[in-house]
């Protein structure tokens, strides 16, 4: 433990030294400081582009180290979180990951469970043991029939396919209401910081809304007007993802109508 603290302190010390050096050399090294400031603001990078140079940084998702440079491995937004550099996706198809909550549609019933289309390369499989209560193999279609929409959690992603589970809070069959799709890359913005955006929409419209990481959204409300209002708010968010103060704008919009 003590060692760790010392190490951290050492690291901080060296950082400080570097900082002062940087100030002294700022005029000479204008280009370099410019780059590091840009990263803090997040910048768009293309594959193969150098994000930062230096041994201090750690490459994370979507990046790799080549010599002293950290290069982007994919197109996206480069972000610096402390020393960790990662590239966040802004376009492209949904890439399933363990722990994602997704919405899907049941496409087939087998002896051991349900096949669920979750809009990824391989379809999801929901084993019968992963349903929240005991279900006899004879009455599987009474619990989930073909065409039903279900919210499930990804248990694991394997070469053979994706395993789903319903054993968690807020998962299960989604009845009534309607589903529609948005780009999976816009989902974080629809949810907002710690759910701020989606909770606000739920509160203002009185609808129940479920958002899957794969971009499927399910809305169910007391009347169709509220449902349409909620959908319009979500469509507005997906169109204006890069706008600042979006939560306030959406709130204004929902209060106005």
Which residue, 159 or 224, has its beta carbon nearer to another protein? 159
Q: Which of 18, 48, 129, 141 touches another protein (CB under 8 A)? A: 48
Q: Which of 14, 29, 110, 122 touches another protein (CB under 8 A)? A: 122
Q: Which stretch binds another protein (CB under 8 A): 22-30, 41-49, 103-111, 222-230?
A: 41-49
Helix 246-256 to helix 196-205 angle (10° resolution) is: 0
* Contact between residue 88 and residue 79 where contact means Cβ atoms under 8 Å apart: yes
Which residue, 112 or 240, has its beta carbon nearer to another protein? 240
Collapsing DSSP to helix, strand or coil, 104 comes out as strand
Which residue, 76 or 113, has its beta carbon nearer to another protein? 76
CB of 93 to another protein, least distance (A): 5
Which residue, 84 or 95, has its beta carbon nearer to another protein? 95
Which residue, 11 or 95, has its beta carbon nearer to another protein? 95
Which tokens go with 147?
Answer: 């065409």
Q: Which of 9, 29, 47, 137 touches another protein (CB under 8 A)? A: 47
Helices (H), 25-110: 30-40
Site size toward another protein (CB under 8 A) is 23
Q: Which of 14, 91, 196, 257 touches another protein (CB under 8 A)? A: 91
Long-range Cβ contact pairs of 169-176 (< 8 A, separation 24 or more): 170/101, 170/210, 171/101, 171/132, 172/132, 173/143, 173/144, 173/148, 173/149, 174/103, 174/148, 174/149, 174/150, 174/210, 174/218, 174/220, 175/220, 176/220
Q: Which of 46, 55, 67, 82 touches another protein (CB under 8 A)? A: 46
- 90-123 b/e with 16+ CB inside 10 Å = b? eeeebebeeebbbbbbbeebeeebbbbebbbeeb
Instruction: Please give the residues from 180 up to 219 whose contact with another protein meets the rule CB under 8 A.
Output: 185
Nearest to 165 by CA among 135, 125, 211, 118: 125
Q: What order do you get walking across the sheet with 50-53 strand by strand?
A: 50-53, 69-72, 63-66
Q: Which of 8, 11, 44, 145 touches another protein (CB under 8 A)? A: 44
Q: Which of 54, 92, 99, 206 touches another protein (CB under 8 A)? A: 92
CB of 234 to another protein, least distance (A): 17
Contact positions vs another protein (CB under 8 A)? 44, 46-49, 62, 73-77, 89-93, 95, 121-122, 159, 185, 240, 242
């Amino acid at each position: 433990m003590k060692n760790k603290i010392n190490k951290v302190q050492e690291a901080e010390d060296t950082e400080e030294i570097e900082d002062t050096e940087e100030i002294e050399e700022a005029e000479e090294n204008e280009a370099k400081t410019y780059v590091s400031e840009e990263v803090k603001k997040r910048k768009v990078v293309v594959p193969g582009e150098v994000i930062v140079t230096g041994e201090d940084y750690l490459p994370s998702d979507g990046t790799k180290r080549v010599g002293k440079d950290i290069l982007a491995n994919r197109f996206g937004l480069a972000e610096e979180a402390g020393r960790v550099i990662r590239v966040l996706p802004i376009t492209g198809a949904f890439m399933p990951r363990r722990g994602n909550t997704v919405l899907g549609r049941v496409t087939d019933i087998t002896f051991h469970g349900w096949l669920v289309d979750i809009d990824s390369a391989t379809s999801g499989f929901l084993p019968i043991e992963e349903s929240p209560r005991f279900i006899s193999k004879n009455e599987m279609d009474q619990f989930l029939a073909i065409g039903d929409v279900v919210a499930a959690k990804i248990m694991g992603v394997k070469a053979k396919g994706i395993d789903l589970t319903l054993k968690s809070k807020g998962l299960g069959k989604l009845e009534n209401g309607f589903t529609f799709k948005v780009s999976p890359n816009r989902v974080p913005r629809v949810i907002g910081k710690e759910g701020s955006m989606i909770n606000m929409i739920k509160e203002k419209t009185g609808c129940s809304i479920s958002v899957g990481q794969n971009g499927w959204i399910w809305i169910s409300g007391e009347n169709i007007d509220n449902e349409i209002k909620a959908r319009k708010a979500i469509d507005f968010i997906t169109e204006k993802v890069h706008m600042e103060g979006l939560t306030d704008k959406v709130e204004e919009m929902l209060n106005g109508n």
